[in-house]
């Protein structure tokens, strides 16, 4: 079986976001509800293992197919997925922190530095101008909003909440700016079927922002924390209303874009409970957590079936002389 390494995309790191986020949720659930801790640890370590595999493949892509790697970096849409690499590096860091603290701290530093460097580079490109409507998608959230919020969470978990609050500020104000740009595109032009999986990213900002804010503050959750969670919940309800429209795009591994927000919403609710929340969010936490597990479990099962068909086709009697890595 031959694999064309040039077809490997940074979007594959989206799996780490979903599985790592779900693992963090199960870790919190073990504190809040007393569920077996082994589930959260298994998911967290699985996410770290997937990160290591994809990171190795991505490095190999730069060695064996540097033209393809550079093409991804300069692509007006695909380039913003590259920030997933430092983002998931931070997720791997806090996943292995209980077991390998020194290595985890090194990954944390590399992830934060990489995210900041890429975000500065990417936003600088946006400021130069020349972007078209067709390339304006929810992927624009990834560096400034997603990357900054994950950096804030990582800073809080590794004991640097003051630095994390700076990253939270970048992400919070970027939501306001970027959402107006993206909604203008959606309202006026819609989004083609082939790019609808990117709508999953639209769910993530307020949900991940809730987790980030709670990671860099202390005491009972305040009004801003509740408002962020409320907007995240509203976004989730709108996404449920759009399921028939979203399903017009055939399933592919790009669907892992939904897992970022899907895993962050129950994690935020559990963080609220850990901080003393007893109101409506505490009552919503369990059903949201169950639904999140079902959705990510479904994504994982469908992905495994795709992988199985790919391998079976490659080694079967009708195998082609060359095969490609899934997009």
Using pLDDT thresholds of 50, 70 and 90, give the confidence band for residue 116.
Answer: very high
The structure's pTM equals: 0.92
Tokens of 184: 């203008």
Instruction: Give the model's pLDDT for residue 313.
Output: 66
Instruction: Give the model's pLDDT for residue 163.
Output: 97
Q: CA 276, CA 241: separation in Å to the nearest integer?
A: 32
312 has pLDDT over 80: no
Instruction: Give the model's pLDDT for residue 92.
Output: 97
List, in order, residues 6 or more apart from 259 with CB less than 8 Å away. Answer: 14, 15, 17, 18, 19, 21, 22, 200, 295, 296, 299
State mean pLDDT over 64-70.
Answer: 94
What whole-number percentage of the chain has pLDDT above 90? 87
List, in order, residues 6 or more apart from 42 with CB less than 8 Å away. Answer: 23
278 has pLDDT over 70: yes
Using pLDDT thresholds of 50, 70 and 90, give the confidence band for residue 2.
Answer: low
């Amino acid at each position: 079986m031959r694999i064309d390494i040039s077809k490997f995309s940074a979007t594959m790191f989206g799996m780490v976001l979903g599985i790592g986020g779900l693992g963090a949720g199960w870790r919190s659930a073990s504190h809040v509800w007393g569920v077996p801790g082994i589930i959260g640890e298994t998911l967290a370590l699985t996410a770290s293992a997937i990160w290591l595999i994809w990171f190795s493949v991505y490095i190999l892509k730069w060695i064996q197919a540097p033209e393809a790697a550079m093409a991804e970096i300069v692509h007006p849409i695909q380039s913003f997925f590259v920030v997933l690499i430092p983002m998931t590096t931070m997720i791997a860091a806090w996943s292995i922190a209980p077991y390998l603290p020194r290595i985890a701290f090194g990954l944390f530093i590399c992830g934060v530095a990489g995210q900041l460097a890429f975000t500065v580079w990417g936003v600088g490109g946006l400021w130069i101008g020349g972007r078209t409507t067709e390339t304006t998608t929810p992927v624009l959230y990834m560096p400034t909003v997603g990357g900054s919020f994950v950096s804030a969470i990582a800073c809080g978990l590794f004991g640097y909440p003051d630095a994390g609050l700076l990253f939270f500020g970048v992400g919070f104000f970027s939501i306001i700016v970027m959402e107006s740009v993206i909604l203008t595109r959606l309202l006026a032009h819609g989004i083609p079927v082939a790019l609808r999986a990117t709508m999953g990213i639209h769910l993530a900002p307020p949900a991940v922002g809730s987790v980030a804010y709670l990671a860099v503050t202390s005491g009972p959750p305040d009004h801003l924390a509740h408002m962020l969670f409320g907007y995240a919940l509203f976004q989730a309800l709108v996404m449920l209303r759009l399921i028939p429209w979203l399903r017009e795009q055939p399933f592919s591994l790009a669907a892992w874009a939904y897992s970022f927000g899907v895993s962050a919403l129950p994690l935020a609710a559990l963080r609220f409970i850990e901080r003393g929340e007893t109101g409506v969010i505490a009552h919503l936490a369990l059903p949201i957590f169950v639904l999140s597990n079902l959705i990510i479990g479904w994504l994982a099962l469908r992905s495994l079936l795709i992988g199985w068909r790919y391998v079976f086709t490659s080694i079967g009697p009708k195998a082609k002389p060359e095969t490609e890595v899934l997009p």
